[in-house]
Structure 1
Amino acid sequence: MRYLFTAVLALVFCVAEAQTDFNARDLSISWQAVQNDYQNKPNRSLQAIVITNNGHTALPASGWKLYFNSARTIEPQTVAGNAKIELVNGDLFTLTPTEGFKGIKAGDSTRVEIIGDEPVVNISDTPEGFYLVWDAHPEKGLPTGKFTIKPFKPNYVGLYTPEVIYQQNKSIQDVPESQLTKVFPTPIAYQENGGFFTIDDKTSISASSEFKNEAGYLITELQSLGVKLSSVKIKKIINLKMVAGMDNEAYELVIDPQSITISASKPAGVFYGIQSLKTLMSPTVWAAQHKPIQLPCVEVKDGPRFPYRAFLLDVGRNFQTKAQVLKLLDAMALYKLNTFHFHLTDDEGWRLALPSLPELTEVGSQRGHTLDSKQHLPPSHGSGAETGKLAGSGFYSRADYIEILKYAAARHIAVVPEIEAPGHARSAIKAMDARYTRLMAEGNKAEAEKYLLRDLNDQSQYASVQYWHDNVIDVSLPSTYNFVETVINDIIGLYKEAGAPLATINFGGDEVPPHVWEKSPAYLALKATHPEIKETGDLWYYFYGKVNQALKAKGLYLSGWEEIGLRKTTIDGATAYVPNPDFEPEHFQTEVWNNTIGGGQEDLAYKLANGGYHVVLTSVTHLYLDMAHYKSFDEPGYYWGAFVDIDKPFSFIPYDYFKNTTVDKNGIPINKSIFIGKQRLTDYGKTNIMGIQGALWGENIHDGQRMEYMIFPSILGIAERAWAKNPEWATEKDTTQSKQLYQTAWVNFLNIIGKRELPRLDYYHTGYNYRIPKPGVSVQDGRYVVNEQFPGLMIRYTTDGTEPDAKSKIYKGDLSRKETNVKFKAFNSAGRGSNTSEPVQNANSTL
């Protein structure tokens, strides 16, 4: 026994000594997908985590855990039994060594094979954000060293190989730039008349007094291009002219050799005329200062199809800097989008500083290792052990937000703040817990409880879609409505100080899981005094009725996700959701994302619009830009709702998106019979379609570069559908004729994007990191034939296995199949390249 005690004591001493000497950054970790269909089960994948000790001290066999994030669930038992996996909360997991783990000597590696509950499709399926925690110091997270992802070549249906891409691109013809419409998005009427107007230092501006701000904006834009206008009014003039009777955002633009005239009734119309003037300019003017600037003589009559043309940016999951937001607003303004939906809060972060509740950002804006979320939130989406690091941590100060509001207002963009409730609210809940703890310690119980968002005695057990078990506000508590009222007042104060318009606050409403509130004493007490509340589902109407009244009292209307307009019921014994007649007279604005093909709710947006709700189409199948562009391991993004390349928003038919929906969420052709019995949009329903909205959710958006990669150029497809008139191909009843009309429009669109808008985005406002599609490659008649989605990009190649760069050989159609080890990339005008295409055989096996 004495020897056993001595051995145990020695082991404890060795582990403690290792904790002192061992540097966690000496651990490098690599991940690889090994096999889908593991053990012949279609929803399982075998993956390997390889831990390498690059230091001089051994990592002991026990006494530690690795924490990491994974958007995909993982089975607890590893294949070799040398570790166990546990879900902590949300997407945070731990890997704990078991008795089968032998420790890792200096210079050695250990392989831990794990089993995923879903197949691996792309790089966004990887775990991320690894860090080490010693058992003796569970409160301290230690960042590990380099993390690498090993390439995976999956073999499944729908895989986009270079051959598949080639076949998809082969119908895209080159259209001479002289034949392209040079105003984008496509105007109602456009005519080129020959000749040019030259903007130079002999040009002056004349503007109606109502358009003074727009004139100042135009002067600033031209100065940024090196053009200094004349301060004396002379014959060559840019005239911003007031003309009564036009719609708010409509304008007319006439350019002749002596003048430019933009006519409008409202400042927004003049502003959009200026944006059209900018897209008429050669894209190269942003590459270097050009003076003078030559513009073609044109006549344009224009106005938007929809009044609500929006883009949503989620900064709750991963934060984006103020500079990145302003840059996005610049692009939105250029392409005539007028609403910025700012998703400011979620389970993983609260990003807006409010003066009345400082804990919201003190606690809710920071992520790092924690055991209790009392001082900050836990790591999510790979944010790691340390607080204060982008993109897990960060917030907008009062001054930041006011600057954003002013910047947006000057560009005729309304900023709609979203405050998630009652679900997706963990950041707010934990922040108010911290406030409660602080004030209770001060002996101020009444003030401590004033904004509490959960019943401290609630024993309800639930799990959200994202695996959180404590992320839903208790709407039975009076303190919840104190919180809502205070948040509304503080937000209104910010907009007033900025002088920016505020018509609505989006209060979320999506993805509240089953079983919330069931064991909440506050719910049981409320149920006893409110006979209309018979079950927890009835709290939905109670909550949004009160939130609606709070907003109406301030002159605002309520907007939220589709669930705010739905009532839970049963049809033939099955749960179903129908438009809630109680709220229909209030005309809530519902933003409807769920039209997942095959999910059963394909017609949900049309049901709500036909039922009297104002609807903003935010359809996941066509408008979610965080979805991967297509099924390929090197394409980042989620894919649970669809794969979304630029063709999806361009082909979207707002009034009948069933018409040209041909594939399911996995890209597999569908049987159109699934639309039988689905509601079609009535003429009354059409009057309730406010517009369309693109969305970028932030889970896998770790920096501004990735943000821009996912948004651009697909946002241009959204801009086209939101602004341009209803295209002929969308209403043509003859299927063959409709397809022909669509193909012509599609090819013209791609030529405009490739030859005019992508070169503009290379340098416009410091340039955007838009996605450059990889080339399609096929082998035909003994040679490689290569094409590209966007005419105007340059294809380069190597034949020695190295990665092509901006100096590699230009592909001219003469490359023999005898060349081996060939790689192709597409390059833009700035010399930036796409992902690599390597000729391979198409896969025919299934996933």
Structure 2
Amino acid sequence: MRKRQTRTWLGAGAALAMLLGAGGALAQPTQAQLDRFAATLKVGYTVLDNRPAATACAPAPSCMLAELTLSAPEAPAAGWSLYFSSVDKIQNAGGDLFALTHINGDLYRLTPTAAFAGFAPGQPIRIALRLDGHQLSELYPMPNHYVAADGLAARTIASTRPVIDPETGLESLAFVAAFTDEARLAGGSAADATVWATAPRLYQVNAATGASVQPIPRGAILPTPLDARLDPNGASLDLSRGVAVSLAGAKRAELAAALSRLAKVGVGQAKGGAPLKITVAAAEALSPGAYRLTTTVQAIQVTASDAEGAANGLASLTALVDARRSVPVLTIDDAPRFAFRGLHIDVARNFHSKAEVLAILDQMAAYKLNRLHLHLADDEGWRVEIMGLPELTQVGSRRCHDLAERTCLIPQLGSGPDPSTPVNGFYSRADYIEIVRAAQARHIQVIPSFDMPGHSRAAIKAMEARAARLRAAGRPEAEAGRYLLSEAANKSVYSSIQHYSDNTINVCLDSSYAFLGKVVDEMARLHAAAGQPLTRYHIGADETPGAWTDSPACAAYEKKAGVAPADLGGHFIERVSAMLAAKGVVPAGWSDGMSHAKAERMPGQVHSNNWGALGGEGPASAHLQANQGWEVVISTPEVLYFDSPYAADPKERGYDWPSRATGTRKVFDFMPENLPAHAELWTDLHGKDQASKDEHPLKPGVRFAGLQGQLWSETIRSDAQVDYMLYPRMLALAERAWHVADWEEPYAPGAGYSRATGAFDAAQRARRDADWNAFANLLGGRELARLDAAGVAYRVPSVGAVVEGGKLRANVEFPGLPIEYRVEGGAWRLYVPDAPVSGRVEVRARTADGKRAGRSLVVQ
């Protein structure tokens, strides 16, 4: 056993007396003492082993091992606790100096025991931790640990605050030890074949795909148009004098945003400019969103059947404008692959600003994405003002140190105790109307999402606070409980996947449906005020097993409604969907939850986001739901969850349960209309080969409705991190949602795939690689510079490099980006091929405009 410490305040016996009250009892610290403690306490966190032997985990079947260290020059002897977030459930904390308590969700508390007697100089207290799961990244632990004491303001521990690198703008967690032991830390089990994306390994990957600078073809547009015919003589149209716009069948307001973007690349409207005629007419018989763009040496013509198509034509025109403000003479006939081309942004877990959402809408329009799935409420936050329910934002939009949750939700996801930090917040009614108006101007439909019945803790706690306020004011119980989502008499014991014990709406209460009706009606009013009617509403449809097993309300409801306990979740979805349909709103939800509903009891129009795994139930569930007439939007986590890390690198951010590495190339390579075929091309989560069989073939003529990328925000705490995780992957999403590549493997009903089937042949691979090289060069040579100009903090790719014969060879995923290197920590130099080097060599890339550096990798 470790020798017990005897110091209370370092080198200050008199300080101990200051903490002793009458009779020698330990007194509470003062605010000044707690503040000083938070400022000087050094916290360290080290992941020791992601692959420990089974004996180290017993009696649990598996675990990971970590260590928390604490040291300080002084500390209160008692009366304080340390709070921190751990997304992975902690199985055990060793030692007898602190007691560990799980509060709820990911919040834990360490409280000194009677054995704790302070810190000794140079002797950090080490607390062994055994946790579920694994942590494969230095950015997986959560920041902003804090100390609190009764009656005092809680304070964030300074050593656990995130640190921002001024050169790269990237966040690091200085209190987390660097990962250096690949054998123990790269994978989640002994069978995991994952290796880190080191500079030499990246060099080989880039070289294999032929990464080299190539000229960008005249007329290149992203996403790739259906058909483009360039003038054989290479003629161009000079737009340096701007354009003179004339409209037929379209309102100027419908195209103002698209014309404004054209002006941003230097082609504004002017009377003496080149004629730009825009015609919108149903008689053109073009599909929704389709267009024809014709440029001659004198004029431009955009033709479409709807305003969205005309805006898409203007987006293509904008993409064609070069540095001389000219465009090639050509004709483009273009139409989208999918009518639904979506992007999901989670602002619930961690809030993101209105300005960020508006900026995302600009880029969505530029790349012809047309659905914004805005996730506005979850366990950790409610993010939009609802008239008549002030607690939703007064309580539900803030996390702070109030364990009773009367004024806010408890801290989660490393938010810390301060309710004023940017991860807290909400959109006012005016803010939300502005967002929807901006989307409407860009022909983007906003689909609000409020997850239920699970993932609803923010709403549940807010409505409990509302009821308490009204009861305290003496209001009738019928009024106080009108929108309650929880039942005081419910004694059910459960735990959600995020370790909450109280995050699921009671689906047997009439007040739960009254709440939903109120929210939908208020959202409909906001949409109407913005000029975009609410026609689609995402209910999530997640539930938590066991949430209603000991609910008196459910016992009565089951008898009254004739619903079996196991069918309550499906019954909720059916009832809510019917309610939405009666209001003229299409119900939407995630595929697993929606599968609990019986198709014959659902409305005629249903939207399902299929997020089943490619190597699991994904293909079958997508096909089954599409075959029953639902609008299935492919949302595959292995490739379309943009909160996953770009690469298997311990310094990359993101949840790794869907994928260890979701790079831009992986998104580009996706074949959304043949899900089973990916078993031939991709390994599973652990780097192992897999096989698939199309056991539920699509019926003839049945197609998926669309494609959607997802950005969940559990690990994303700032707008800059949103940019980093979203771009440039979003551009590859846009390419696949709009354009069918000629190398994609056609869907074959009933076909099976594995590494051995060989359906995706060498010719297809060659066409795919050539297509990728053209795409990568378009990004490196043009599109990333446009993102720079728009202030988008996209991810700068890590550089691949090797040293051979004393010479440095380097390449980068997007050819054309500047590459730099340095030796032995010296000054950074611009890379030239075969630069002579010796010693410790690092490489990195810079943004297209050269103003921001990417993260560096050590070559040798």
TM-score (norm 1): 0.89
| 2:640 maps to 1:628 | no
Q: Counterpart in 2 of 1:184?
A: 222
Q: Counterpart in 2 of 1:656?
A: 674
CA–CA distance in structure 2, aligned partners of residues 355 and 509 of structure 1: 24
Q: CA deviation at 1:777?
A: 1.7
| 2:90 maps to 1:74 | yes
Going from structure 1 to structure 2, the CA distance change for 1:7 and 1:838 (only over 3 Å counts) comes to closer
| 2:473 maps to 1:442 | yes
Going from structure 1 to structure 2, the CA distance change for 1:327 and 1:32 (only over 3 Å counts) comes to same
Going from structure 1 to structure 2, the CA distance change for 1:652 and 1:225 (only over 3 Å counts) comes to closer
Going from structure 1 to structure 2, the CA distance change for 1:484 and 1:6 (only over 3 Å counts) comes to closer
Q: CA deviation at 1:29?
A: 2.5
The residue type paired with residue 669 of structure 1 is K
Q: Counterpart in 1 of 2:169?
A: none
| 2:839 maps to 1:813 | no
Going from structure 1 to structure 2, the CA distance change for 1:202 and 1:161 (only over 3 Å counts) comes to closer
CA–CA distance in structure 2, aligned partners of residues 423 and 734 of structure 1: 41
CA contact (8 A) 1:639 1:665 kept: no
In structure 1, runs of 5+ residues without a counterpart are: 286-291, 568-578, 841-847
Q: Counterpart in 1 of 2:260?
A: 220
Going from structure 1 to structure 2, the CA distance change for 1:218 and 1:416 (only over 3 Å counts) comes to closer
Q: Deviations over 1:799-819 (max 9, x none)?
A: 0225x6xxx2122122345x1
Describe the SS at the equivalent of 1:128.
Answer: coil
Going from structure 1 to structure 2, the CA distance change for 1:186 and 1:222 (only over 3 Å counts) comes to closer
Q: 1:36 aligns with which of 41, 50, 58?
A: 50
Q: Deviations over 1:89-144 (max 9, x none)?
A: 1111112233554413688744433233333311232132201012x44x742222
CA–CA distance in structure 2, aligned partners of residues 617 and 784 of structure 1: 43
CA contact (8 A) 1:53 1:108 kept: no
Q: CA deviation at 1:247?
A: 1.6
Q: 1:208 aligns with which of 248, 254, 268?
A: 248
CA contact (8 A) 1:585 1:612 kept: no
Going from structure 1 to structure 2, the CA distance change for 1:811 and 1:299 (only over 3 Å counts) comes to same
CA contact (8 A) 2:34 2:148 kept: no
Please report the RMSD computed on the Cα atoms of aligned residues, expressed in angstroms: 2.5
Q: Deviations over 1:444-467 (max 9, x none)?
A: 211001111111100000000000
CA–CA distance in structure 1, aligned partners of residues 394 and 314 of structure 2: 42
Q: CA deviation at 1:215?
A: 4.8
Q: Counterpart in 1 of 2:687?
A: 668
The residue type paired with residue 143 of structure 1 is T
Q: CA deviation at 1:666?
A: 2.7
CA contact (8 A) 1:458 1:517 kept: yes
Q: CA deviation at 1:12?
A: 5.7
Going from structure 1 to structure 2, the CA distance change for 1:264 and 1:602 (only over 3 Å counts) comes to closer
Q: 2:536 aligns with which of 500, 504, 510?
A: 504
| 2:317 maps to 1:240 | no
Q: CA deviation at 1:21?
A: 2.9
Q: Deviations over 1:340-376 (max 9, x none)?
A: 0000000000001011211111111111011121221
CA contact (8 A) 2:291 2:335 kept: yes
Q: How does 1:137-536 map to 2 (within 5 A)?
A: 137=151, 140-147=153-160, 148=174, 149-155=176-182, 156=186, 157-158=193-194, 159-170=196-207, 171-174=209-212, 176-179=214-217, 181-193=219-231, 194-201=234-241, 203-225=243-265, 227-231=267-271, 236-243=274-281, 244-282=284-322, 293-391=325-423, 393-444=424-475, 445-510=477-542, 512-531=543-562, 533-535=563-565
Q: CA deviation at 1:584?
A: 5.7
The residue type paired with residue 426 of structure 2 is F
Q: CA deviation at 1:178?
A: 4.1
CA contact (8 A) 1:69 1:91 kept: yes
CA–CA distance in structure 2, aligned partners of residues 222 and 508 of structure 1: 37
| 2:558 maps to 1:544 | no
In structure 2, runs of 5+ residues without a counterpart are: 1-16, 161-173, 187-192, 748-758
The residue type paired with residue 381 of structure 1 is L
The residue type paired with residue 778 of structure 1 is V
Q: Deviations over 1:730-767 (max 9, x none)?
A: 33955222222222222222111221211111112xx2
Describe the SS at the equivalent of 1:545.
Answer: helix
Describe the SS at the equivalent of 1:729.
Answer: coil
Q: CA deviation at 1:227?
A: 4.9
Q: Deviations over 1:418-472 (max 9, x none)?
A: 1111110001111110111111112221100111111110000000000010000
CA contact (8 A) 2:92 2:131 kept: no
Q: Counterpart in 1 of 2:793?
A: 769
Describe the SS at the equivalent of 2:236.
Answer: strand
Q: How does 1:681-696 map to 2 (within 5 A)?
A: 681-686=698-703, 689-696=704-711
CA–CA distance in structure 2, aligned partners of residues 238 and 835 of structure 1: 44
Going from structure 1 to structure 2, the CA distance change for 1:328 and 1:677 (only over 3 Å counts) comes to closer
Q: CA deviation at 1:727?
A: 3.0
- Larger mean CA deviation between 194-203 and 319-328 belongs to 194-203
Q: Counterpart in 2 of 1:115?
A: 130
The residue type paired with residue 46 of structure 2 is Q
CA contact (8 A) 1:74 1:85 kept: no
Q: CA deviation at 1:497?
A: 0.9
| 2:657 maps to 1:640 | yes
Q: Counterpart in 1 of 2:608?
A: 590
CA–CA distance in structure 2, aligned partners of residues 17 and 560 of structure 1: 50
CA–CA distance in structure 2, aligned partners of residues 494 and 17 of structure 1: 49
Q: Counterpart in 1 of 2:10?
A: none
Describe the SS at the equivalent of 2:589.
Answer: strand
Q: CA deviation at 1:590?
A: 0.8
Describe the SS at the equivalent of 2:744.
Answer: helix
Q: Counterpart in 2 of 1:719?
A: 734
Describe the SS at the equivalent of 1:295.
Answer: strand
* Percent of aligned positions that are identical: 31
- Larger mean CA deviation between 10-19 and 557-566 belongs to 10-19
Q: 2:583 aligns with which of 549, 554, 557?
A: 554
CA contact (8 A) 1:422 1:509 kept: yes
CA contact (8 A) 1:72 1:125 kept: no
| 2:592 maps to 1:563 | yes
CA contact (8 A) 2:524 2:533 kept: no
The residue type paired with residue 226 of structure 2 is I
TM-score (norm 2): 0.88
CA contact (8 A) 2:216 2:781 kept: no
CA contact (8 A) 1:121 1:154 kept: no
CA–CA distance in structure 1, aligned partners of residues 258 and 603 of structure 2: 43
| 2:76 maps to 1:64 | no
Q: CA deviation at 1:295?
A: 1.7
CA contact (8 A) 1:311 1:693 kept: yes
CA contact (8 A) 2:293 2:301 kept: yes
CA–CA distance in structure 1, aligned partners of residues 701 and 129 of structure 2: 53
Going from structure 1 to structure 2, the CA distance change for 1:665 and 1:355 (only over 3 Å counts) comes to farther
CA–CA distance in structure 1, aligned partners of residues 266 and 831 of structure 2: 36
Describe the SS at the equivalent of 1:408.
Answer: helix
The residue type paired with residue 551 of structure 1 is L
